[in-house]
Amino acid sequence: MKKIGGLVIALFSVLLITAAISPDVKASDSAVKVTDSSNRTLAIYYGDIISLEQFSTVEVSDYGEASSERVGYGVVAEKDYAVIDIIDGKLCAVGVGKASVKLDGISYTVTVEPAPISMFFLIGQSNMSGREGDNTASVACADGQVYSTYAHGDVLTVSNAPYFVPSSLVGESSEVNTKGNNKYLGDYPVNSLTAGGNGKEGPDSGIAYEWNRITGDKVWLVNASQKSTPISKWLKGESEYKQSVALFKSAQKVMAQEIKAGHFILKNYGVFWLQGCADGAKTAEYYYNSFMSMYNSLMTELAYDIDGDGSEDFFEFFNIIMPRAGSESSAGYRKGTYDDTPDVRYYQSFLDLEMRGHRVAQYYICNNPDNNIYLVSNLGDSWVTMPDGSDGVEDYFKSHYKYGRVDYPVQKKQPEKWYYPKTPADVHDNIHYNQVGYNEIGIDAARNAAYTHSRVEKPADIKTTVKFYDWTGYREVTQSVVYTNTGADSLIVPVVYPVYESKNVTYSISDKDITYKFYDLVRTGTVSDGTVIKAEGTDGKFTVELEPELKLSKPSSVDAKAYSDYAILSWSKVKSAAGYRIYMKTSSGWKAVRTTVHTSYTITGLSPDKKYTFCVRAYGYQLGKAVFAGSYSSISFVTSLETPQLRVASTAKKRATLAWYDISGESGYQIWYSSSKNGKYTKLSNYKANTVKVYETGLKSGKTYYFKLRAYKKTANGYSYSDFSDIKALKIK
């Protein structure tokens, strides 16, 4: 059987399902087109909704006798009233069994089967809840494919939790047949994420859309996230924990009834977690212990015989979407400056990448192969304005969408610019994501979860890599040094790309005399030469090693080519150096002039005929911190004389007048001439210091001569010269 556009069609079917979805507006239902009349069988899933607008006449020959049972609060124990029904011009699968329809006079047998479904629990704080998004820009999932329950965080309590959950997923009961109360469910019906609903802020619609698209499962999302909640509120016995558990238990009961009724087959059952910003000041150890306590409690308390086989079902996986650092507490955009750049105001600044305790702990948890907790998205880490002004937004969307234009359907057509995110402000302009950012994070999380949990085949052409970052979250660590303290300087955080390979990387350290605490990724002890931290792919395809302590030598030589007002310094490359710092000697000591990654640099702003001393010192990074070599190489030189500027004129027959402004410090001047600009020049004469004008006679009338001038100075070692002036051409009278 092949699934297309939300339907399952026998390969010999006479019907072809085509997706009639515009990327600018709500998704339409699947359309049916007759392509062959030799065989007339259509197989679909329970809950599917099919548009019949293209047919002139539609007649239900047999609504069918359902084998499935009715589900809902207060319903009697009986079978579903039919297998199919025509509602608002659409063919709806309302029961399981066989039925018959006539489309433009041709009869078809319709077989409705139990639908595969995945059920996910969404918990965390405001970025999972979806604060400040735009529901009209959320992904519009196909009708009949996605169900959603959202317990409004401001009003959810343990006692009212059941009222947020429909007593059945399909039909009128989804909107009105609750446990005697429609006060809460009426504001957010179960079809809110579909084309027939009004959408929702947050990553929900992206998760549901992508999971349904690539696996073919219908999806039920149960979102119990709460704004501004630290992880302490999610521990067993605390408010957020109790409310969310009450909500999900109500949903479990409905899902179990739906499965028992023959409507659905449960395929996957898990959690998506996005939280941590409120714990930015906590240590990694604190967050790790708190998270694992919550995780163990949820796994135990929400174990439930949901599929009716007599044994409790546990969550198959616990998926984490990496949160921001939360390094700025003020609302709205966050400002950030960096000492190597101009004063810039950043949207979604690089400060969000800081490896605060909650981020360190979550990276560790998801790297740890001894649990079923997986990192499914750290996409927000790519959408930041870095200290050098770059960001990854436009590159990301261009690599994932043709021309960089998002192509999924949304609840309401957006301005054209919305479809082309190019800057962090387009996806994350404050402490929360814009809806296009939420959509993409949800899609990324669902896609990676499907890869991680083997629901779809992983791409074969993506190379797995590991990068080690220091506390900043963006400076890459290349050397391994052990500190005896446990401060930020000693932090190393491994990040795996792509994230779905995180469990397939192992870490080791060669020196057994030191310890490596993975929950905070801080090593203590004394390192010996040759100690290496190593990351290896379990498939053996790559190895990353952090070498021992960085040891830098001084440049073996420094050279200078001096001019009147500048000098070009050059030096030899130093092994393992990340760059070089240049210092100038002054009366008060050495002064840093410039830092460069190159092996030469032009020093400007110098004075003519003056002695200078410079030195060059190599530096590298250890755990992201700049470390300078203990020694340096220096050089002294004297800048050349100021370059005199020549003026020429022919004011009399066979005579040239040559003049210039007098410079200081010279012993004299030389004038050179030639009969062609690029030919051989001959010295005309030397002239004493303070000379500013000379007359040259006996030149040939009508001939053009080329002149240039330079100053000279007598020194103990001979003579030094200024640069030549610009060449001047003169035609003699």
Check which CATH number belongs to the domain holding 580 and give it. Answer: 2.60.40.10
For residues 87 and 129, state if they share a domain: no
Q: Do 221 and 207 contact (CB within 8 A), yes or no?
A: yes
For residues 632 and 658, state if they share a domain: no
Which of 546, 575, 610 marks a domain boundary?
546
| 536/465 Cα distance (integer angstroms) | 9
Centre a 10 Å sphere on the Cβ of residue 609 and count the other Cβ atoms it contains: 18
Contacts of 129 (CB under 8 A, 6+ apart): 153, 202, 223, 225, 226, 227
Q: Do 223 and 204 contact (CB within 8 A), yes or no?
A: yes
For residues 704 and 610, state if they share a domain: no
For residues 596 and 650, state if they share a domain: no
On whether residue 157 sits in a domain, the answer given is yes
Contacts of 226 (CB under 8 A, 6+ apart): 125, 126, 129, 153, 156, 233, 240, 243, 244
What pLDDT score does 507 carry? Answer: 79
Give the tokens for residue 676: 């062609």
For residues 94 and 121, state if they share a domain: no
Long-range contacts of range 83-91, CB-CB < 8 Å, 24 or more positions apart? 83/110, 83/112, 84/60, 84/110, 84/112, 85/60, 86/52, 86/58, 86/60, 89/51, 89/52, 89/53, 89/58, 90/29, 90/49, 90/50, 90/51, 90/52, 90/143, 91/32, 91/49, 91/50, 91/52, 91/58
What total of structural domains would you count in the chain? 5
Using DSSP, state whether 410 is helix, strand or coil.
strand
| 312/317 Cα distance (integer angstroms) | 15
For residues 593 and 706, state if they share a domain: no
Phi, psi of 33 (to 5 degrees): -130, 130
On whether residue 552 sits in a domain, the answer given is no
For residues 231 and 372, state if they share a domain: yes
For residues 94 and 22, state if they share a domain: yes
Helix, strand, coil % in the chain, rounded to nearest 5 = 20, 35, 50
Which of 61, 78, 113 marks a domain boundary?
113
What pLDDT score does 72 carry? Answer: 83
Q: What CATH number is attached to the domain comprising 306?
A: 3.40.50.1110
| 227/295 Cα distance (integer angstroms) | 19
| 220/232 Cα distance (integer angstroms) | 27
On whether residue 235 sits in a domain, the answer given is yes
Q: Could you tell me how far CA 61 lies from the centroid of its own chain?
A: 54
On whether residue 551 sits in a domain, the answer given is no
Q: Is 124 left (phi over 0), alpha (psi -120 to 50) or beta?
A: left
Using DSSP, state whether 670 is helix, strand or coil.
strand
The Cα-based distances of 165 to 198, 271, 625, 670, 712 in angstroms read 18, 17, 52, 98, 94
For residues 256 and 302, state if they share a domain: yes
Which of 77, 93, 113 marks a domain boundary?
113
On whether residue 459 sits in a domain, the answer given is no
| 638/636 Cα distance (integer angstroms) | 7
Give the tokens for residue 162: 């059941």
Q: Is 697 left (phi over 0), alpha (psi -120 to 50) or beta?
A: beta
Phi, psi of 715 (to 5 degrees): -125, 175
- Work out whether strand 218-223 and strand 115-124 pair parallel, antiparallel, or are unpaired: parallel
For residues 81 and 29, state if they share a domain: yes
Q: What CATH number is attached to the domain comprising 533?
A: 2.60.40
What pLDDT score does 719 carry? Answer: 85
Centre a 10 Å sphere on the Cβ of residue 718 and count the other Cβ atoms it contains: 8
For residues 618 and 536, state if they share a domain: no
Give the tokens for residue 710: 């330079």
On whether residue 304 sits in a domain, the answer given is yes
CA-closest candidate to residue 324, choices 125, 138, 133: 125
- In angstroms, the first-to-last Cα distance of the chain is 101
Around 220, how many Cα atoms within 13 Å sit in the side-chain half-sphere?
29
| 136/713 Cα distance (integer angstroms) | 79
For residues 156 and 270, state if they share a domain: yes
On whether residue 57 sits in a domain, the answer given is yes
Please, what are the averages of pLDDT over each run of 10 residues along the chain (733 residues)?
Answer: 29 31 39 53 91 89 94 83 91 95 91 96 94 91 95 84 89 56 78 93 97 97 93 95 96 95 96 93 89 96 91 92 72 36 44 86 91 95 79 91 94 96 86 93 97 93 86 77 50 89 84 54 49 73 72 89 91 91 93 91 91 93 76 90 88 87 88 92 89 84 92 83 90 88
Contacts of 461 (CB under 8 A, 6+ apart): none
On whether residue 269 sits in a domain, the answer given is yes
Domain coverage including residue 55:
2-113
